[in-house]
Amino acid sequence: MSMTRKAAIIGGGVIGGGWAARFLLNGWNVSVFDPDPQAERKISEVMANARAALPALSDVPMPAEGVLSFAATITEAVEGADYIQESVSERLDLKHRVFAQIQQSAELGTPIGSSTSGFKPSELQEGAANPAVIFVAHPFNPVYLLPLAEVVPSPKSDPAVIENAKKILREIGMFPLHVRKEIDAHIADRFLEAVWREALWLVKDGIATTEEIDEAIRMGFGLRWGQMGLFETYRVAGGEAGMKHFMAQFGPCLTWPWTKLMDVPEFNDELVDLIAGQSDAQSGHHTIRELERIRDSNLIGFLRALKDRNWGAGKVLREHDEARAVAFHAGIDSAPKAAPLVMAHMQVLPGWIDYNGHMTESRYYFANSETVDAFLRLIGAGMDYVAAGNSFYSAETHIRHLGEAKLGDRLTGTIQIISADEKRFRSFVRIMRGDECVATIEQLCLHVNMATGKSAPASAEVWAKLHAIAEAHANLPLPEGAGRAVGQKKG
């Protein structure tokens, strides 16, 4: 069994805390160094948000959470670390001092990523004892939800270190975008800076308020950009004639006065007060923590929609689930046990709640489907099996509602095989909230040849795995409630 790996996070602010949460919830031990006496409190609040949000994106059981510790020194934090992420303030002299302290104690070759928004890796590497392991790994807030990390090496970077870092980032569910040529502010922040400067002019000149600008983004092009980016959005705008038509149509606009991109308004107290006042009027009735939870809840909905369609950031989430599912199911595969199998972890999302304030009926069936589908993947009857023309169909289902699941509750789906043969199996799923069973679902599934539409024996490989689990469950007591009829009295 491989040992739990360790990440060292130097700087425990919003970004550093997000990195800590991302690593912890993906099973890494994390050591944080930050001299701020409020660091533990701040990171605990970030962790609370992350624990409520990240599991809601996953359709595969999350790994056991790692151990979080707070180090008294940088030396203590980086000792034995497999990955180091620097997230201190945007001061180059401070970063240089931090890198020097890190490299006095870190093991040779350990990747050292920097969360810098603007500095180039060659600037970060100046004066370093081992510049080859220092690079930019620029994330986006909230780090525990948004997958992008801009990975920027310099000519001095060790390609093997960069590839190792990208591998680690993928393992914790991120999308490492390899920026091939270093530039100030990398890629994404250069776009953000352009939009920010234009927005400052619009407010300063009295053309729009902060709220009106935000509405223009979130009600319009922001929704398109979130799924298709810039160039793909414009490609669609070109219609059947495509991108060349779009550019021919809008190319002349480049000479029109549509932007003040190269001109910057004077950044003085008057402008700051104007924008801050409008922002307070727009959003001041919410605390920052409330806004963070609203943001996270919305991001979960967006990301899950993209995941359902295997598109954009959702494709990254699905690939991460698939990678973790292989390891998770391999652990169960090797030795079926005489106990119900834990097959699914879920979190009750806002869209799952009905007018009574608890999880709606259809979502209990969804929870059962998630559990049974995970079991089918375990025995080799996943999507590849379906593509080959075979599948298990639901023939009969009986659900009992024993408790109430509410918004934010974390649920676990377990499955017990009551009986099985080559053509069918009878399962009993428990939907658990901690130690409480909130629902049971008993189901009969038939194996079907999809070409004929008729029941047929499962493949030898699938039947062997199903039979082994059924045998392991044969000596378990019949679950309470199994075989009940609707309306049947207890006892």
* Domain CATH code at residue 420: 3.10.129.10
Q: Give the Å distances, CA to CA, from 54 to 59, 173, 346, 361.
A: 11, 10, 11, 24
- Give the type of residue at 71: A
Q: Give the Å distances, CA to CA, from 310 to 66, 263, 303, 317, 411.
A: 29, 40, 10, 8, 24
Non-local (6+) Cβ contacts of 60 within 8 A are 321, 322, 324, 325, 328, 345, 374
- 462 and 409 co-located in one domain: yes
- 201 and 168 co-located in one domain: no
Maximum Cα interatomic distance, the chain, rounded to a whole number of Å = 82
- Find the domain containing 341 and state its range: 335-473
- 135 and 268 co-located in one domain: no
Tokens 């009027």 belong to residue = 281
Look at residue 192 and tell me if it is in a domain: no
- 368 and 263 co-located in one domain: no
- The pLDDT, as a whole number, for residue 491 is 62
Q: Which two tokens stand for residue 296?
A: 């996270």
* Helical (H) or strand (E) element with 78: helix 74-78
Query: Residue 217 carries which DSSP code?
Result: I
- 110 and 245 co-located in one domain: no
CA–CA distance, 109 with 284 (Å, rounded to integer): 46
Look at residue 33 and tell me if it is in a domain: yes
C-alpha 103: how far from chain center: 31
CA–CA distance, 415 with 424 (Å, rounded to integer): 15
Q: Is 130:159 a contact under the CB 8 Å cutoff?
A: no
Look at residue 300 and tell me if it is in a domain: no
- 132 and 84 co-located in one domain: yes
Q: What is the model's pTM?
A: 0.76
Look at residue 293 and tell me if it is in a domain: no
Q: Which of 125, 147, 178 represents a domain boundary (last residue)?
A: 178
Look at residue 304 and tell me if it is in a domain: no
- The pLDDT, as a whole number, for residue 1 is 38
- 159 and 205 co-located in one domain: no
- The pLDDT, as a whole number, for residue 250 is 73
- The pLDDT, as a whole number, for residue 178 is 98
Q: Which of 221, 253, 285 represents a domain boundary (last residue)?
A: 285
Tokens 């319009």 belong to residue = 220
Q: Which two tokens stand for residue 146?
A: 């948004």
Q: Crossing angle of helices 39-53/14-25, nearest 10°? A: 50
- 120 and 12 co-located in one domain: yes
- 163 and 62 co-located in one domain: yes
C-alpha 95: how far from chain center: 28
Look at residue 314 and tell me if it is in a domain: no
- 395 and 456 co-located in one domain: yes
- The pLDDT, as a whole number, for residue 262 is 67
Non-local (6+) Cβ contacts of 370 within 8 A are 59, 343, 344, 346, 413
H helix and E strand count, the chain: 17, 14
Provide the CATH number for the domain around residue 15: 3.40.50.720
Look at residue 389 and tell me if it is in a domain: yes
Look at residue 480 and tell me if it is in a domain: no
- Per the structure, the count of domains in the chain is 3
CA–CA distance, 302 with 415 (Å, rounded to integer): 30
pLDDT tens track, the chain, 491 positions = 357 899 999 999 999 999 999 999 999 999 999 999 999 999 999 999 999 889 888 877 788 899 999 999 999 999 999 999 999 999 999 999 999 999 999 999 999 999 999 999 999 999 999 999 999 999 999 999 999 999 999 999 999 999 999 999 999 999 999 999 999 999 999 999 999 999 999 999 999 999 999 999 988 899 888 888 888 888 888 778 777 777 777 777 767 777 777 676 787 888 888 878 888 888 888 888 888 888 888 888 889 889 988 988 999 999 998 888 777 666 655 556 778 999 888 888 777 888 888 999 999 999 999 999 999 999 999 989 999 999 999 999 999 999 999 988 889 999 999 999 999 999 999 999 999 999 999 999 999 999 999 999 999 999 999 999 999 999 999 999 998 888 777 76
Query: Residue 229 carries which DSSP code?
Result: T
- 349 and 267 co-located in one domain: no
- 11 and 155 co-located in one domain: yes
